[in-house]
A and B are shown apart, each in its own frame.
Chain A
Amino acid sequence: MKSTGTKERLSKKNKRLAIILGLMACSFYGVFVLIFAING
């Protein structure tokens, strides 16, 4: 069984990675639509 501290650290690490990957996905979407919107 992991200690609470280790669990919390892991949970933070997971959330941080999830946010980075989520932002990546959002930026693909945002940049993409924006480029075409500006061109249009």
Chain B
Amino acid sequence: MGTIAKDTHHDHEHKPTGLKRWFFSTNHKDIGTLYLIFALTMFFVGGAMAMVIRAELFQPGLQFVDPQFYNSMVTIHALVMIFGAVMPAGVGLANWMIPLMIGAPDMALPRMNNMSFWILPFAFALLLSTIFMQGGGPAGGWTMYPPLVLQTGDAFPFLIFAVHLLGISSIMGAINIIATVFNMRAPEMSLMQMPLFVWTWVITSFLLIASIPVLAGAVTMLLTDKYFATSFFSAAGGGDPVLFQHIFWFFGHPEVYILALPAFGIVSSIIPTFSRKPLFGYASMVYATASIAILSFFVWAHHMFTVGLPIKGELFFMYATMLIAVPTGVKVFNWMATMWKGSMTFETPMLFAVGFVILFTIGGFSGLMLGITPVDFQYHDTYFVVAHFHYVLLTGAVFALMAAVYYWLPKWTGHMYDERLGKIHFWLSTITANILFFPQHFLGLAGMPRRIPDYNIQFADFNMMSSIGGFAYGVTQLLFVYIVIKCALGGKKAKAVSWEGAKGLEWTVPSPAPFHTFETPPKIKKGMLENG
């Protein structure tokens, strides 16, 4: 122990009060909390849009909204969930936990950290305000393909500016994480001793720095095509709309791993704790994460097999995509090997982590199917794709984020959450998410296209089933909010080591974690970091 700041010159529980504390905060824990609250809010905003989508698709025919509004719901739901919910939730966890895990007193650039967060509400105010504008919100899909997206009305420049702001926020967050890990780590902690969660965030940060500027470049070119008479993507002016797809997916595929890698890190922290065994194959996990990140830059065209690529190109991207299954397989194998012969218990974080491993793998397998060029010609732009990426992002990334919240909530609040309600939340989420998304595989295989408000009567049963699952999943998440608020307000006192098998520096500080921690670099004791 002796790792928390013991400084007689400072009152370590001294913190600003009122709104000032939150608006001007440079404390990594407060900014982490802001990110997490923002992400949860956006999860419900995006979720409300999903409810509109599922209500419209409950039956064939147009029921509640016109097709234009439906398409803008599809578009904004995706943008909100990706950039407003999953990414900020991951950054929130990184803010809270990375300094605690590596023994740093705070993030390396605390004021930039504040700015990274406070850009987000403005960016989303811009984006969400488009729904009320002349011509409606952006409705060309989150991929913003031209020429369709260029038909957007007044909302267009707001969309582009919002995307730029989100990019700036993400890049600043990434820079901060890299600087924190490389410069602020406890002197006794080598890179290969860092928890896997920290490793996955370092690698994710490099992905962000390399890929987000590409998206920014692409949307700037869209902007100039619409307002400044350029023809980057306009065939009439000698440009090529397919060029946008290449550029977008050069960003878009690494983006998938920006969402997934932190989830891998979370699960790699939780499974050893509840298996009471060190993580199996720590080094191979680090190398697998790095391999996935590198390979993610060489597979972008598997999203666009049907645009008419040369056959050699299609083969290259198909085989490169298959290759990603190898390091991903290493990870799944290592998680299973960690659990093998462990003294496993199934508290809520572990349930969500095991749920992640199983359901993310289902999403991974359907991804492999989509990566096979001739097969993709049948599945492309069908509900099979929708089912695939929701298994990866909802039962994958979101389940891991839920696992992380349950796992670290005692450290954040100083209270244990209601375990019985947590388990109910897990089982209801798992059952309803599968009712929601599994039938969509069948819809896609039968040929139902994505992004349509109406459909043939042959798709009615599976759509009704999917909608019922969707409403039930939405209601279930209210239980999550109740559990979190209940835990924040009170409950059984949490110990510093809140879980029996938990190891790592974050568990050496009291629960709740004091406002300032690790002003003196901690001593690393033998076995303290062995969980990985």
Q: Which residues of A contact B (CB under 8 A)?
A: 1-2, 10, 13-15, 17-18, 21-22, 24-26, 28-29, 32-33, 36-37, 40
Contact = CB atoms under 8 A, between A and B. Distances in A.
A13 B183 contact: yes
B33 interface: no
A22 B171 contact: yes
B325 interface: no
The secondary structure that dominates the B interface is: helix
B231 A18 contact: no
Interface of B: 5, 7, 9, 108-109, 112, 171, 174-176, 178-179, 182-184, 209-210, 212-214, 216-217, 220-221, 230-232, 238-239, 243, 247, 519-520
Nearest to B105: A2
18 contacts: A1-B5, A1-B7, A10-B183, A10-B184, A13-B183, A17-B179, A17-B183, A18-B108, A18-B109, A21-B174, A25-B175, A28-B209, A29-B217, A32-B217, A32-B247, A33-B220, A36-B217, A40-B230
Contacts of B232: 36, 40
Nearest to B209: A25
A29 B183 contact: no
A21 B209 contact: yes
Contacts of A25: 171, 175, 209, 212-213
Contacts of B243: 36
A10 B9 CA distance: 21
Contacts of B112: 18
A33 B109 contact: no
B239 to A, nearest CB: 7
A31 B522 CA distance: 43
A28 B218 CA distance: 12
Nearest to A35: B217
A15 B213 contact: no
A21 to B, nearest CB: 5
A28 B176 contact: no
A22 B109 CA distance: 13
A24 B231 contact: no
